[in-house]
Amino acid sequence: MSLDFLVDSSILVTGGTGSFGQAFVKTLLMKSGAKRIIVFSRDELKQHEMKITFAEHRDRLRFFIGDVRDLDRLKRAFQGVDYVVHAAALKQVPALEYNPTEAIKTNILGTENVVNAAIEKGVKKVLLISTDKAANPANLYGATKLCAEKLVVNSNFYSGLGGTKLSVVRYGNVFGSRGSIIGVIAKQKASGEITITDEKMTRFWITLDQGIEFVLDSLNDMRGGEIFIPKIPSMGIKDLIQVCAPGCRLKYIGIRPGEKLHESLITPEEARNVREFDNHYIIFPDYQDDKWWDESDNYIRGKEVPEGFFFASHKNDKWLDEEGLKKLLDMLE
C-alpha cells in the first residue's frame, strides 16, 4: 500500500472519532506524508481524548466540532482540503427503525451536504464509506446508505470532468468496531448464555486494518463514480459464537426489526456493471459515456462477471474457518 499520493496533502475524515475514524487517523499519522489531517465530528470528548493520544502529532492534526447536517460548518472545514473520507453515519439498525427522520437527516441529507461542500470548495476526491446493507436494503439504515451511495456516484454529473471526484467503498461487518457482535459476545460470555437471532444467519467480515488499507487503495485509484468492493470472507453467526464462546448455551431470540438472514455486497442488478480484479470488485456507474467518466487504463485488466452474478454472504467462495477466525481475534488483542 503506497501512500505517496498523500504527501503534502490535506485530508479530512467525517466521523473521525468513531472506530474506523480513529484507526484511520492513526494510520495516516504513522504511515503517510499528509501535512494536515482533520477530524470532523460531533463528539468533543472523543476529540479531546484523541488530542491526548496523538499529542506528539499536534502539528499535523486538526479538530473540527461539527455535524454533517450543518452545510456551513462543512464548508468552513473543507477549506483547503484535498481529500475527504466520509465515514460519519448513524448505524444502529434497530434504533434507526424507530428514529427514521434522524437517520435521513444524517445519512442522506448529511451526505448531500458533504458532496455540495466538497464541490464548492474544490476538494479533489471524496470517498464514502458504505455498507453491505445498502445492497437490496431491508432496513432504514441500508436504505439511507443506498441513497447516500447514489448521491455520491451521481454527483459526478455536476462536478464534471476535471472537478471533484466522488466514489464509494462498500464492505461488510468490521471486527472490533464499536457495537460489533464480538463485543456483545464477550459481555454475554460470563453468563454462560449467548443470544442468537437465527442459526442460519451469515455475514461478511473484515478487520479494521483491512478496511483502512482498502479505503486508502480505493482513494488512490478512484476516478469518480466507482463503488469498490473487497473480496472478503463469510462466516455463520452460530459458528462465530461457538468459536468465541465455546460451551455457552445459545438462546434464540428471532431476527430483529430490519435485520436480514444474509447480506449482499453485489446484487444481480448491479452485476452488468461489475468488473472483477484479483482482490476486489468494482461497480462502474450506469452512465459511462457521460463527459465526467474518465476510465483509467488500469481498469481494462478487470474481467466481466457471469450473467446473474451476485455476491452474498451465504454464496461466498471464501469462508472463515475456526483457525482463520482465531487469527483475526488475535489481531484485536
Residues annotated catalytic, as ranges: 133
State the Cα–Cα distance between residues 206 and 176, nearest whole angstrom: 10
**Helices and strands: H and E segment counts in the chain:** 12, 17
End-to-end CA distance of the chain: 23
Q: DSSP of 81-97, one letter per residue?
A: -SEEEE------HHHHH
**Sign of the dihedral defined by the CA atoms of residues 299, 87, 56, 27, in that order:** negative
Q: DSSP of 35-75, one letter per residue?
A: SEEEEEES-HHHHHHHHHHTGGGTTTEEEEE--TT-HHHHH
Measuring CA to CA, which residue among 54, 130, 133 is closest to residue 88?
130
Distance of CA 274 to the CA centre of its chain: 19
CB neighbours of residue 291 within 10 Å: 11
Sole residue written with cell 472483477: 276
State the Cα–Cα distance between residues 124 and 26, nearest whole angstrom: 22
Sole residue written with cell 473487497: 230
